[in-house]
Structure 1
């Protein structure tokens, strides 16, 4: 015999996921066709068949509905990342690869299927300013990333190594986003971001050490 409470809970979750998907799909389609300023929340709600109140139970604004994911990284993504860190203080050798995997997983959480991803790309081509919001290129987001790396590697968020990695990786993400969402791009987000990260890693490893004082000779 089925557990009624569990069955009802599962049904509610499926309905919620379906509504979430419907709102996101409609928001992306309207944005691609008209731009964000070209439609209202009310028009979006009418297309989906929901109330304005229901919309705001899912998303705080149209921009968030287009992106279809929360600003903060979900725990189901961050927990495996932090668990894979070094056993003691110090940067683990897999940090860059794990940061790429984390970023790709977050991107994939925006759109489950290829069709949804294509729809998201169309919307962002019309509203390129949303790429920055998607990439979370803000000081607060950079601080969250720094804290995540510090927690994983058992270091202080102000540690110079943590600051360096988070600063450079944030810059690479902000560069990879527009490149990936460019209408002419045919590469996957993983390929675009991996290329950027590997180029940076190779370049920095080729430099001589930098000192704080100039040799008087």
Structure 2
């Protein structure tokens, strides 16, 4: 399959980010230069600055590179006709969208380890990561509201995304564990099934 120009740019941005995280994890942000990063990534300094304004931004990465437009469209189209109230498959579809996100960025134990190590080495990156998390939550809440026909900032949209985030966070931890043998969608489904049991038990008979 022939890659589009935008796909090639996204792939290169992800490669630059991967190198930036590895270098930060081993040397800290002050332990390498943009030139060092360019040498590792096999790009020119000019190319680097076409993608990122600096090293910190390269470590954090470009948010849009993890968004699969086709998966977003499928999520928005996932509400069945004639449904009243919230779609019964909303959480399943949110988790499918999350799995597509991780497939795009190529989540692996090695890459995740470099990311966490970089954040541990440079605590100031944590603030940027928190802002990125808030941006992601707002974006996902907007998608839920659009799909389900909810008014802006509706609490149901926020809670749906919050529940999805909790399942994703615990699922990713299992996925990255050395002894894991399951795919990320399988792990998400197991956790969703457990959450459904808890909520079903809380409902009046």
State the TM-score, normalized to the length of structure 2: 0.71
- Compare CA radii of gyration and give the structure with the larger one: 1
Alignment of 1:68-217 (within 5 A): 69-71=62-64, 73-87=67-81, 90-111=85-106, 117-127=108-118, 133=129, 136-138=132-134, 140-182=135-177, 184=178, 186=180, 187-208=182-203
- RMSD over aligned Cα, in angstroms? 3.7
DSSP-derived class of the 1:85 partner = coil
Aligned residue for 1:54?
Answer: 47
Superposed CA deviations along residues 172-191 of structure 1, whole A, max 9, x for unmatched, are 33444444445x35243333
1:137-191: CA deviation from partner (whole Å, max 9, x where unpaired): 32x3222211101111222234343232122223333444444445x35243333
The range that moved more, 165-174 or 69-78, is 69-78
Unaligned runs of 5+ in 1: 1-6, 210-217
Change in CA separation of 1:96 and 1:125 when aligned onto 2, cut-off 3 Å: same
- TM-score (structure 1 length as normaliser): 0.68
Query: How far is 1:109 from its partner?
Result: 0.7
1:45 and 2:63 matched: no
| 1:80-110, Cα deviation, whole Å (9 max, x unpaired) | 1101123365322221211111001001111
Count matched residues.
195
1-side partners of 2:76 and 2:49: how far apart? 32
Contact 2:150 2:157 in 1 (8 A): yes
Distance 1:29 1:193 in 2: 28
After superposition, the Cα gap between the structure-2 partners of 1:14 and 1:103, relative to the gap in structure 1 and judged at 3 Å, is: closer
Q: Which range moves more in the overlay, 99-108 or 129-138?
A: 129-138
Of 121-130 and 45-54, more deviation after overlay is shown by 121-130
